[in-house]
Structure 1
Amino acid sequence: MTRIAPAFPARFSLALVAWACAFTATAQPAVAPKAAEPVTLKANADMAKTLPFANRQDFEDAMRGFIGTVPDALVTGSGPRPVWNMKPYDFLKANEAADTVNPSLWRQAQLNAIHGLFKVTDRVYQVRGFDLANVTIVEGDTSLIVIDPLLAAETARAALELYYQHRPKKPVGTVIYTHGHADHFGGVKGVVSEADVAAGKVQVIAPSGFMESAVAENILAGNAMNRRSQYQFGTLLPPGPRGQVDTGLGKALARGSVTLIAPTSTVEKTTEERTIDGVQIVFQLVPGSEAPSEMLMYLPQFRVLNMAEDVTHNMHNLYTIRGAEVRDGNLWAKYIDEARVAFGDKTDVLIAQHHWPTTGSARVVDLLKKQRDMYKFINDQSLRLLNHGYTASEIAETLRMPASLEQEWSTRGYYGTLRHNAKAVYQKYLGWYDANPANLNPLPPVAQAKKTVEYMGGADAVVARAREDFKKGEYRWVASAMSQVVYADPANRAARELGADALEQLGYQSEAGTWRSAYLVGAMELRNGVPKIAGGSSANADTLKAVSNELFFDFLGVRLDAAKAEGKKLVINWNFTDSNQQFVLTLENSALTHIAGRQPDADATVTLSRATLDAVTLKETSFPAAMLTGKVKVDGDRAKLAELMSMFDTFEPMFPVVEPRAQPKNQ
């Protein structure tokens, strides 16, 4: 990124907004995707025999309470492309899965293609299929309570308009964010205005720590997460049987305007009861489950339990392949069980902010138990095996879900997978090192690849052997071997093409929407190179408000180019006129640190408001321009501020992933 302040990352601490904000056009591959190979055809056919496809309960649940929709759930925006459009997914109307799509993923994709307004129970409604997430609308006595207003203002506005077409037009009096992932708050300005919130006409409620988690979970690694999210969500792929099919968690991400209004009230107690416009709500804080700041809620009058994103109709991520801190499966399971004990036998309908409801107390309790046991099983069995000395890859290769869970649609790995979640548990407790000294300090990827290819007889020999393995369907090995050749020689066309072919077949076989997308984007970029498109940032005036001054300075430290800072030493005071906060920013030993306070003998003192700093960050002005207008005052040596600013690095948003990039200099 080229901005001073953080570029906000991808799903979901503002991170997944990458494709919603960054791209004006989908890259069209120069080489068309290929057909499924015989081994893939057989693998998908075999998969179709192993799961209970005759069970249509989820489809009945997904359509229960349907009231109406708009054609193709079409939401237009200010640009030439729709913000949201389900028309490109018409291919999913076919009864039989395409031979290039795992049949289990096809089924999930069909369910996620259902869209419209649904009645959950009296006074509780959901709009589903208008964005990645659901918006839940609860009818208070005189106003509406809107829970999680989607990712984009445009889709949130369209969802509310759909609701109003069929229900009384009460004003929105309350917005509730269940957690700090952008697809659950980004559309807030589509349902309420900031002026009404400021005037006290609308309250915004969120869990404790919401604003911090909304940006901080991934912000320091935001540029890398944005790029990796393109792989996880297939944002560079056109929808289709050989392209993007589904994310597993929902269809896709809206391309609209991401907004944010700060909460006016936060839930601070582990369990907290409130009455909002005649509606009783019991909030249950579940920090560190699916998000650092998250809460569930129970509506006793309606016997509805909202599990936010902790219980959905798939296996979620203990580790998300875009990159994020590992989540605690043991803690996640405990939270689910606490909700089951507190509310399970008092619940008629379980809803979540993704997927479709589950009705009937017995079925609700059954779902809670199975989701609880899924996360507990992954956590405990991975720990058991690592205590036997097995490595992360060995655990992932051998661990299997128990039969009682493997046949459950709600525990299938459409978004998270057993393989990478098991590795996540290993990472949480033991980190990256497997204790084998040979792996303690191996050669870096390019040097390793060159030596490996040399040992294997050279690139031509490796490719020739890999072609035979490809015919046998050994796609995992071929993809790995061709990656070595490509890292040794990025210009080797035969290796790129064969590696792409292998990744493509792996994608066609993948049950997880995230794995499918990653494989297919990798194949596309091996064939055609990194797309020549502009990367972007979801940083805007709304989201920057969530960045604390401390986090701002932390990110400046991440951007410091150590080589440019070598031997330099300077101290700058920062005075913020709006918050009355003061910080001392110190550069020494090629490290940028900050501490609250003021240093009398600093090289310079910068006085400004946070709003001015945000304007500089958004390139609406510059420090010199702001000084001319009096919005920034610099006492002391102005040259020191300019010198510091010249040391900050910029990040390339579209860096290579499946081929080597220029290696960093030793520092």
Structure 2
Amino acid sequence: MKRFGIAAAVAALLLAACGHKPPPSAPETAVPTPAALKNLTDDFKPRVLNPADGIYVAIGYGIANSIMLVGDTGVIIVDTTETAQSAQQVLAAFRKITDKPVAAIVYTHSHPDHVGGGAVFAGGRDIPVYAQRELVANMERTSIELQTTITRRSQRMYGMPLPADQLINLGIGPFVDMHEGSTVAVLPPTRVFDDKLDDTVAGIHFELVHAPGETDDQLFMWLPDRHIVLSGDNFYRSFPNLYTIRGTGYRDPRVWADSIDKLRALHAQVLIPSHTLPLIGEDKIEAALTDYRDAIRYVYDQTIRQINQGHTPDEIAATLKLPPHLAASPYLQPFYGEVSWSVREIYNGLLGWYDGDAATLQPLPPDQTAAHMVALAGGIDALAKQITDAEARGEHQWVLQLSDYAMRVAPDRRDVRQARIAALRALGAAESNPNARHWYQVSAGELAGDYKLKSRIVKPTPQTLASMPVKRFFDGMAVNLDPQACGDKTVKVGFEFTDIQQRYTYIVRRGASEVVPELQPDADIVVRVPAQTFKEMLAQLRNPALTIATDFDVVKGNKLEFARFMRWFQPS
């Protein structure tokens, strides 16, 4: 009975602790300024650094670093920048140091700014390309299924449409070197691994270790003979992007912190990240990594604590701050990630979108909510006055929230539009986080009619497309199927790919897609075409109408029916 009494008391304390209490007020911390962001700019001047004998880091040619390890008979390139054009610049800079051939390439992870120039460094030679096993699947998912929205959101986040005088830097690099006409030249991995790979290339002994964090295919490269580590994107000079506003899958902070602990256990004397400057000195590296993992775990643990106390994502995001000693670290300034964004990501990643408030379980549609709010304000004229008055008082965030309602009801209302543009520009000017800064600035420009975002900026090379499985292109078609265009029709189209000897049947069934890896005998239409031609058409390297007319052999049905079928799949 005595034990039961103690257990009951403990349980009661736990229940009390998990009750809904007011969220703790945020501690006072210094707020970074745009001037602090500007102070980073000199770090990103284009140059090649030499942090250790035989190791060279190209920084400032794009958002990510590219790293060259010089061996006895060749060099290893770690990360290859975002485009073929930036890769050519880096390669030219490396060639001023050595003319030894590129003997291998290592991708630290699947983000485009690390893989986009692989073929340039290989120069047509058959060399090993190392990566963690999940890299290809992650890269294809972004480049095919989510390419349109990621492209648009990236333009806002990186400020890509902005004139040069409105850009400071990106917090972890100078700019994204992607422009109209840029090409990506990804070389597919040839050596993949799950947990760890040990190898020697050109006399350089290295270990590749799976270290999920910013991506689940992240790795670091360890040179055990020299106590040098290349850390990828799990560490850079900014609070980590536990969530990126361009959009991403859940980045588990616990796993990320564990990966930092793997780095700490190495006791490296030189640490070379794939963004920002190298760190030299075991004590300096240990201190920076310890603060980094502590910040990640603090945000995760305290978010969970407040979730268990019954707080909503908005409540937690408004109050949770790093403790002063972490907030003061030069490696944890919010120049890329943000604590508040991380809070919401943790909540959503663990519990999903529902915040537990019954009012948000089945909310009114946005347009209907806006109509009610306008009526509640006394009509559109009264709400417009509230908006312009708030802008005059400098209440920029309130202007954004109110104008959301007004612009749904009266999208052509000029005074509301101008107040919203002014608020966006004011918020952007005050931001030290470049991702938020650019999003405000580009959004203002979009609203003012200065910019129209593109659904595609760079184009893949034919060689890149050749390395991708054709089934992934059917996945891309599926997410572009217009259910209104196909109505209640059911159509089966067979594809015979003459250059790879593969056959598929694509079924559209009343707005839903199914792909069968065989040619079904009851297909309504059957076409023959080289898979490479099909890929290049879907990637917009070829004109669809002309390609269908000249390169597709229709062996069942007719070309008019096939062309009508393909028009159901219109990119956004």
TM-score, normalised by the number of residues in structure 2? 0.88
1:380: Cα distance to partner? 2.1
Q: Is the 8 A contact 2:142 2:150 kept in 1?
A: no
Of 106, 118, 127 in structure 2, the residue corresponding to residue 188 of structure 1 is 118
Can you list the C-alpha shifts for 1:458-489, whole angstroms capped at 9, x where unaligned? 33333433444344432221221123222221
Which of 329, 333, 336 lines up with 2:257 in the alignment? 333
SS in 1 for 2:353: coil
User: Residue 537 and residue 595 in structure 1: after superposition, are their counterparts in 2 closer, same or farther (change >3 A)?
Assistant: farther
Say which of 125, 130, 138 aligns to 1:213: 138
Which residue type is aligned with residue 180 of structure 1? S
Say yes or no: does 1:273 pair with 2:198. Answer: yes
Q: Contact 1:122–1:302 at 8 Å: present in 2 too? A: no
1:637 aligned residue:
557
Shift of 1:457: 1.9
- Distance in 1 between the 2:543 and 2:83 partners? 29
Which secondary structure does the structure 1 equivalent of 2:51 belong to?
strand
CA contact (8 A) 2:490 2:509 kept: yes
Q: How many residues align?
A: 541
Distance 1:534 1:364 in 2: 41
Which residue does 2:52 correspond to in 1? 121
In the alignment, what sits opposite 1:380? 301
CA gap 1:622/1:448 in 2 versus in 1, 3 angstroms: same
Structure 1 Cα separation of the partners of residues 93 and 557 of structure 2: 58
1:248 aligns with 2:171: yes
1:259-408 to 2 correspondence within 5 Å? 259-263=184-188, 265-287=190-212, 289-341=213-265, 343=266, 345=267, 347-408=268-329
State the partner residue of 2:479.
558
Deviation at residue 152 of structure 1 after TM alignment: 2.3
Give, in whole Å, the separation in 2 of the partners of 1:545 and 1:380.
45
**C-alpha contact 1:447 1:488 (8 A) present in aligned 2:** no
Moved more, 392-401 or 516-525: 516-525
Q: 1:103 aligns with which of 12, 17, 35?
A: 35
Alpha-carbon contact 1:152-1:190 (below 8 Å) kept: no
For residues 501-552 of structure 1, give each alpha carbon's deviation from its aligned partner in whole angstroms, at most 9, with x where no partner exists.
Answer: 22222212222110011111222233x2262576534342244335432221
Q: Is the 8 A contact 2:117 2:184 kept in 1?
A: yes
Query: Does the aligned pair in 2 maintain the 1:118–1:126 contact within 8 Å?
Result: yes
Q: Secondary structure at 1:217's aligned position in 2?
A: helix
**1:396 CA drift (Å):** 0.7
- Matching residue's letter, 1:111: D
Q: Which amino acid aligns with 2:458?
A: S
Distance 1:510 1:600, change over 3 A: same
Q: Report the CA distance between 1:555 and its aligned residue.
A: 1.7
> Are residues 265 and 595 of structure 1, via their aligned partners in 2, closer, same or farther at CA, if it must alter by over 3 Å?
same
Matches within 5 A, 1:80-99: none
Deviation at 1:620, TM superposition (A): 5.4
SS of 1:301 mapped into structure 2: coil
- How large is the Cα RMSD of the aligned pairs? 2.4
Pair 557,279 (structure 1): closer, same or farther in 2 beyond 3 Å:
same
- Give the alignment partner of residue 458 of structure 2, picking from 538, 541, 557: 538
Q: Distance in 2 between matches of 1:622 and 1:634?
A: 18
Aligned CA distance change for structure 1 residues 449 and 336 (closer, same or farther; 3 Å): same
1:437 paired with 2:369, answer no
**CA gap 1:154/1:260 in 2 versus in 1, 3 angstroms:** closer
Pair 1:481–1:543, CA change in 2 (3 A): farther
- CA positional deviation for 1:132: 0.8
CA-CA distance at 1:493 after TM superposition:
1.5
Measure, in 1, the Cα distance between the counterparts of 2:453 and 2:495.
37
Question: Which shows bigger deviation, 171-180 or 213-222?
Answer: 213-222
Correspondence 1:155 to 2:86: yes
Taking the TM superposition and a 5 Å limit, the aligned residue runs for 1:504-583 are 504-526=425-447, 528-529=448-449, 531-532=451-452, 535-540=455-460, 541-545=462-466, 547-583=468-504
Note the alpha carbon deviations across 1:256-307, whole angstroms, 9 max, x for none.
63333433522313121110110011100134x2124221111123321111
Structure 1 residues 622 and 102, CA gap change in structure 2 (3 angstroms) = closer
Higher deviation after alignment, 606-615 or 516-525: 606-615
Shift of 1:627: 7.2
Aligned counterparts of 1:286 and 1:504: Cα–Cα separation in 2: 39
C-alpha deviation, 1:392, in angstroms:
1.3
Note if contact 2:51-2:280 (Cα within 8 Å) is conserved in structure 1: no
Secondary structure of the residue aligned to 1:282 is: strand
When structure 1 is superposed on structure 2, of 314-323 and 598-607 the one drifting more is: 598-607
Letter in 1 for 2:175: A
* TM-fit CA distance, 1:231: 1.4
Q: Secondary structure at the match of 2:40?
A: helix
1:183, 1:623 → 2: CA distance? Answer: 29
The one-letter code of the counterpart of 1:229 is S
Q: Structure 2: how far apart are the matches of 1:359 and 1:330?
A: 26
Question: What corresponds to 2:511 in structure 1?
Answer: 590
Query: For 2:232, what is the secondary structure of its paired residue?
Result: coil
2:160 aligned residue (232, 235, 253): 235
Cα distance in structure 2, aligned partners of 1:176 and 1:627: 39
Q: Which amino acid aligns with 2:43?
A: L
Given the superposition, is the C-alpha separation of residues 408 and 263 from structure 1 closer, same or farther in structure 2, using an over 3 Å criterion? same
Give yes or no for contact 1:211–1:546 (8 Å, CA) kept in 2: no
2:406 alignment counterpart: 485
Secondary structure of the residue aligned to 1:307 is strand
Q: CA deviation at 1:447?
A: 2.9
CA distance in 1, matches of 2:390, 2:545: 62
Counterpart contact for 1:121–1:302, Cα < 8 Å: no
Match of 2:377 among 450, 456, 467: 456
Q: Is the 8 A contact 1:153 1:191 kept in 2?
A: no
| Residue 98 of structure 2 is aligned to residue 168 of structure 1 | yes
Report the identity percentage. 27
Q: Would the aligned equivalents of 2:241 and 2:336 in 1 still touch at CA under 8 Å?
A: yes
Pairing 1:621-660 to 2, within 5 Å after superposition: 632-638=552-558, 640-651=561-572
Q: How far apart, in 1, do the equivalents of 2:231 and 2:279 lie?
A: 11
Give the corresponding residue for 1:135. 66
Q: Which amino acid aligns with 2:67?
A: T
- 1:494 aligns with 415
CA–CA distance in structure 2, aligned partners of residues 606 and 255 of structure 1? 36
Q: Structure 1: where are the runs of 5+ without partners?
A: 1-45, 52-100, 652-667
Kept in 2, the 8 Å contact 1:267–1:283? The answer is no
> Which residue of structure 1 aligns with residue 21 of structure 2?
none
| Alpha-carbon distance between aligned partners in 2 of 1:105 and 1:469, rounded to the nearest angstrom | 28
Single out whichever of 173-182 and 635-644 deviates more from structure 2. Answer: 635-644
Letter in 2 for 1:503: L
| Distance change (3 Å), C-alpha of 1:406 and 1:503 | same
Cα distance change, pair 192–474 in 1 and its aligned pair in 2 (3 A): same
How far has the Cα of 1:402 moved from its partner? 1.5
CA distance in 2, matches of 1:279, 1:214: 28
Segment of structure 1 superposing worse, 137-146 or 497-506: 497-506
